[in-house]
């Protein structure tokens, strides 16, 4: 991105990181129309009602210091327009990047887009945590292979990408992966199964429990033979450029949309129960099984 | 010769004495019942050793437990209930047993009211047993099992080995029946279930209130509950959740059944 920005004419204010989305999903993002040869931004619109472009704003910007000149102009203009004598309402000392900067700069040859085809996702819902975990672990294969657990004698069985903190205590009969992160000082008991999940610092997974598509919060405990299971909400793999959809928490008839199960910090889950598609707030001590519930 | 004395039971009918003392140790003629038997056996030249059951095994279980010891030679051996008293006609028993040359001999005794007992019906000429009748309402015989036996060591091969196999760190019960040839792997928890002949439950699964049909395979980390019933030869893949699923024979289940339903 930096090299791309350096090749642009002096006086260029900004390069936006852009990526490709589907026509439908592009409506939920900032949409960029670019000159395909020069990558100059010709038009910018934030969350349009109708289709504009499948190139979307990734939320990463590279500015030249020259940007402070237009910023100053905009800031003063905003102040003037919103000036009032009422001391109780503060004047608007704000600049909105998209509306005040990007939209006016589009089509001025001073704003460019650098397109990436690499992994990019927004983290807007808890379900995204599992998706992000999976992609970061995949990146470790190239960048930090030493962070990924390997199979070996006297070690737990590892399937696919798994990261285990060195301070975690994992029983050799446990089976972990794919796409599992085990945090600091986590205890994983005998015959435990964890798949597509994140186990945060200090959590305890007791013998024979099974954790699927879930996040287990800091210092929480899961009892023996208990099942904690969520529902993945991955982008449609058959659609090119599909992004993780942001599902509303509730359906139209007021039911919780199935999502990954998230257990807050310091929660006690008893033995032999099942927790499915639920969200448990911190410091709860559960007494039984729960399905599709938010436990406040 | 060898002898096996079946010592055990709770002795409830000999209360209150058995509240203080095990039944075979209650004294008659200043000697415990057991000692009367042991002395009669020692007179015959029988040597004494002991094997301990860790749990009640029924009346034939101790024979299997002492199998290796009793099989050391091909000699017949005595088996005695510990709660009988008599003048122990051991020499006559040996003579009778060797004379007919068959696998076992049971001593019978005559009673006045055979309807209170399990009676033995046999040929008067040669003593061959025809049948056992428990508490007969119509008279069939007035001879009952006297609790003394001689068996050839070959009888031990007739006691079936338990065919079900159960792994380590399992928790089985309450109210669980495990059928013949069932395999339960390590770390399985089963409550209120019937597991039928030849079924295989893999590691770390949890089953409550289910019937697992003949030859089924339940994968690892499977949770089954709420009266789930698997027909014959059903396989359930690893890590699934079956809640009240009724699954017809020969199906292979690869997705969870989160709400009660019939899978055809």
Side by side, the strands of the sheet bearing B194-195 are B177-178, B194-195, B210-212, B228-230, B245-247, B261-263
- Are B133 and B183 members of one domain? no
User: In angstroms, how far is CA B130 from the centroid of its own chain?
Assistant: 23
**CA-based nearest residue in chain A for residue B259:** A291
Task: Determine the pLDDT at residue B184.
Answer: 96
Residue B16 has pLDDT above 90, yes or no: no
Q: What integer pLDDT is reported at residue A76 of this predicted model?
A: 86
DSSP secondary structure letters along chain A: -HHHHHTSPTT--EEEEEEE--TTGGGGSEEEEE-TTT-BEEEEEES-SS---SEEEEEEEEE-GGGHHHHHHHHHHHHHHT--S-TTSPP-----IIIIIIHHHTTTTSEEEEEE-S------STHHHHHHHHHHHHHHHHH-GGGS----TTS-EE-SSEEE-TT-EE-TT-EE-SSEEE-TT-EE-TT-EEESEEE-TT-EE-TT-EEESEEE-TT-EE-TT-EEE-------TTSTT-------SB-TTSPBPP--EEE-TT-EE-TT-EEES-EE-TT-B--S-EES-EE-
Q: Is residue B56 located within the same domain as residue B183?
A: no
| Nearest Cβ partner for B189 among A192, A272, A276 | A272
* Interface touch B239/A193, C-beta < 8 Å: yes
Number of inter-chain CB pairs under 8 A, A vs B:
45
B94 and B152, same structural domain? Answer: yes
> Which residue in this structure is represented by tokens 């029924």?
B58
> In total, how many domains does chain B have?
2
Q: Given an 8 Å threshold on Cβ–Cβ distance, is B239 in contact with A191?
A: no
Element containing residue B250 per DSSP (H, E): none
Closest of A139, A137, A165, A161 to residue A151, by C-alpha: A161
Task: Kindly tell me if the per-residue pLDDT of A254 is higher than 80.
Answer: no
**Are B29 and B148 found together in one domain?**
yes
Give A2 or A10, the one with higher predicted confidence.
A2
- Does residue A271 contact residue A261 with C-beta atoms inside 8 Å? no
Nearest CA in chain B to A274: B223
CB–CB of A193 and B204 under 8 A? yes
Question: Using 50, 70 and 90 to split pLDDT, how confident is the model at B111?
Answer: confident
Q: Flag if B204 and A225 touch (Cβ within 8 Å).
A: yes
Are B138 and B170 found together in one domain? no
Burial A162-198 (b: 16+ CB within 10 A, else e): bbbeeebebeebbbbbebbbbbeebbbbbbbbbbbbb
Where does a domain end: B110, B138, B158? B158
Question: For residue B60, what pLDDT is reported?
Answer: 66
pLDDT tens-digit readout, A34-58: 999 999 999 999 999 999 999 999 9
Interchain CB distance below 8 Å, B204 and A274: no
The CATH number of A2-116 is which of 3.40.50.2300, 3.90.550.10, 3.30.830.10, 3.40.50.2000?
3.90.550.10
The pLDDT of residue B56 is above 60: no
Spatial distance between the Cα atoms of A128 and A246, rounded to a whole number of angstroms: 9
Q: Does the distance separating the beta carbons of B258 and A207 come in below 8 Å? A: no
Show the domain range for B239. Answer: 165-263
Task: Determine the pLDDT at residue A169.
Answer: 97
Exposure class string for A262-278: b at 16+ Cβ within 10 A, else e = bbbbbbbbeebbbbbbb
Beta bridge partners of A20: A55
Which range has the worst mean pLDDT, A262-276, A277-291, B16-30? B16-30
For residue B206, give the chain A residue with the closest CA.
A225
CATH number of the domain bearing residue B195: 2.160.10.10
Q: Are residues B14 and B109 in the same domain?
A: yes
- Among B158, B175, B190, the domain boundary falls at B158
**B138 & B178 share domain:** no
Q: Give me the pLDDT at residue A163, please.
A: 97
Higher-confidence position of A158 and B8: A158
Co-location of B137 and B209 in the same domain: no
Question: How far is CA A244 from its chain centroid?
Answer: 9
Instruction: Tell me how close the Cα of B240 comes to any Cα of chain A, in angstroms.
Output: 10
pLDDT at B83: 81
| Residue in A with minimal Cα distance to B171 | A225
Q: What is the pLDDT of residue B57?
A: 56
The mean-pLDDT minimum among A12-26, A94-108, B155-169, B208-222 falls in: B155-169
CATH number, domain A127-295: 2.160.10.10
Q: Which one of A195, A225, A229 has the shortest CB-CB distance to B206?
A: A225
B67 is catalytic: no
Nearest CA in chain A to B186: A191
**A150-195 residue pLDDT tens:** 999 999 999 999 999 999 999 999 999 999 999 999 999 999 999 9
End of a domain among B123, B158, B193? Answer: B158
Portion of chain B with pLDDT greater than 70, in percent: 95
Q: Does B204 touch chain A (CB under 8 A)?
A: yes
pLDDT tens digits, one per residue of A73-96: 888 888 877 766 666 665 567 788
Catalytic residue among B31, B131, B135, B165: B135
For residue B185, give both structure tokens. 């792997």
Q: Are the C-beta atoms of B33 and B82 separated by less than 8 Å?
A: yes
Q: What would the mean pLDDT of A283-291 be, rounded to a whole number?
A: 95
B213 plus B245 within the same structural domain: yes
Respond yes or no on whether the N-terminal peptide bond of residue A178 is cis (omega within 30° of 0): yes
User: B221 contacts in A (CB within 8 Å)?
Assistant: 193, 208, 210, 227
Pairing relationship of beta strands A274-276 and A227-229 according to DSSP bridges: parallel
Does B223 sit within 8 Å of A208, measured CB to CB?
Answer: no
Per-domain boundaries in chain A: 2-116, 127-295
Taking contacts as CB-CB distances below 8 angstroms, the residues of chain B near A192 are 204
Query: Quick one: B28 and B110 in the same domain?
Result: yes
CB-based contact B223 A274, cutoff 8 Å: yes
CA triplet A53, A56, A61: central angle to 5 degrees? 140
Asked whether the beta carbons of A189 and A169 are under 8 A apart, the reply is: no
Cβ–Cβ contact B223 with A under 8 A: yes
Give me the pLDDT at residue A218, please: 98
* Same-domain check for residues B20 and B145: yes
* Same domain flag for B28 and B130: yes
**Measured between alpha carbons, how far is A138 from A19 in angstroms, rounded to an integer?**
19
Q: Tell whether the model's pLDDT for residue B224 goes beyond 70.
A: yes
A233 burial via Cβ count (<10 Å: 0-12, 13-18, 19+): buried
Of residues A100 and B208, more confidently modeled: B208
Q: pLDDT category, B202, cuts 50, 70, 90?
A: very high
């Amino acid at each position: 991105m930096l090299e791309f920005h350096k090749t642009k004419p002096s006086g260029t204010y900004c390069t936006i990181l852009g990526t490709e989305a589907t026509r439908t999903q592009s409506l939920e993002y900032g949409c960029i129309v670019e000159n395909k040869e020069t990558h100059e931004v010709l038009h910018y619109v934030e969350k349009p009602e109708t289709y504009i472009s499948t190139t979307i704003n990734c939320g990463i910007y590279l500015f030249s210091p020259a940007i402070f000149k237009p910023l100053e102009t905009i800031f003063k203009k905003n102040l003037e327009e919103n000036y009032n004598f009422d001391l109780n309402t503060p004047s608007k000392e704000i600049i909105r990047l998209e509306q005040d900067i990007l939209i006016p700069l589009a089509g001025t040859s001073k704003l460019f887009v650098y397109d990436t085809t690499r992994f990019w996702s927004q983290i807007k819902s808890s379900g995204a945590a599992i998706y992000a975990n999976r992609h970061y672990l995949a990146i470790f294969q190239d960048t930090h292979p030493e962070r990924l657990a390997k199979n070996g004698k006297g070690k737990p069985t590892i399937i696919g990408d798994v990261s285990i903190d060195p301070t975690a205590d994992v029983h050799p009969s446990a089976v972990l992966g794919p796409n599992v992160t085990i945090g600091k000082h986590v205890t994983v008991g005998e015959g435990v199964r964890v798949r597509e999940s994140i186990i945060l610092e200090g959590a305890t997974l007791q013998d024979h429990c099974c954790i699927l598509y879930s996040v287990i919060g800091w210092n929480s405990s899961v009892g023996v033979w208990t099942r904690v299971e969520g529902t993945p909400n991955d982008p449609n793999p058959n659609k090119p450029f599909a992004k993780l959809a942001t599902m509303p928490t509730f359906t139209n008839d007021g039911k919780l949309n199935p999502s990954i199960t998230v257990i807050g910090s310091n929660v006690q889950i008893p033995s032999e129960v099942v927790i499915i598609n639920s969200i448990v707030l911190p410091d709860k001590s559960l007494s039984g099984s729960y399905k599709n519930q938010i436990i406040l | 010769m060898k002898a096996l004395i079946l010592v055990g039971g709770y002795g409830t009918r000999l209360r209150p004495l058995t509240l203080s003392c095990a039944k075979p140790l209650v004294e008659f003629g200043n000697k415990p019942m057991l000692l009367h038997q042991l002395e009669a056996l020692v007179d015959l030249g029988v040597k004494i050793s002991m094997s301990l059951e860790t749990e009640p095994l029924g009346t034939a279980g101790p024979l299997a437990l002492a199998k290796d010891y009793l099989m050391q030679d091909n000699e017949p051996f005595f088996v005695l209930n510990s709660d009988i008293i008599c003048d122990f006609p051991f020499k006559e028993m040996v003579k009778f047993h060797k004379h007919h040359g068959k696998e076992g001999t049971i001593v019978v005794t005559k009673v006045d009211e055979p309807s209170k007992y399990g009676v033995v019906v046999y040929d008067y000429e040669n003593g061959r047993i025809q049948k056992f009748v428990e508490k007969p309402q119509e008279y069939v015989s007035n001879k009952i099992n006297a609790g003394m036996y001689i068996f050839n060591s070959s009888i031990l091969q007739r006691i079936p080995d338990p065919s079900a196999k159960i792994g380590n760190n399992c928790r089985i019960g309450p109210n669980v029946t495990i059928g013949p040839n069932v395999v339960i792997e390590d770390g399985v928890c089963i409550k209120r279930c019937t597991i039928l002949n030849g079924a295989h439950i893999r590691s770390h699964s949890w089953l409550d209130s289910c019937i697992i049909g003949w030859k089924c395979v339940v994968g690892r980390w499977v949770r089954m509950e709420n009266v789930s019933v698997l027909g014959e030869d059903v396989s359930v893949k690893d890590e699934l959740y079956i809640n009240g699923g009724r699954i017809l024979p020969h199906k292979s289940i690869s997705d969870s059944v989160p709400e009660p339903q019939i899978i055809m």
